[in-house]
Amino acid sequence: MQKFRRKPIEFEAYQFLGQKGDDRPLSLNYDKYDMPYVVDGRKNREELRHGDWVVPEPDGSGCASRIDGDVFEAENEPLPEPPEKEKGTGL
């Protein structure tokens, strides 16, 4: 059997910490019982729990995937922040 390694990719993600706010992604929804959920690319509803990560589809379709916090942290690492461009240098 042939072995594979995942290609490194960069993506944006949002950690759901249980609060409603303006910084939530467009893909985050609440049902009539105020339970949070996202709709994935196959139009399945995925309920969110505190600490879950929401990864929006790269095409901006409004769909997203829910990833358990422990799984997300085991498989991914944050990228370093890009250095700020110095003011007045035109860079």
Ordered by start, the domain boundaries in the chain are: 28-75
CA gap 72, 30 in Å, rounded: 22
- pLDDT tens digits, 73-84: 888 888 888 787
Residue type, position 15, single letter: Q
Count the residues in the chain. 91
- pLDDT tens digits, 3-62: 877 778 888 888 888 776 655 666 788 889 988 888 888 888 989 889 998 888 877 777
Do 14 and 54 form a contact (C-beta atoms < 8 A)?
Answer: yes
Q: Please give the pLDDT value at position 26.
A: 64
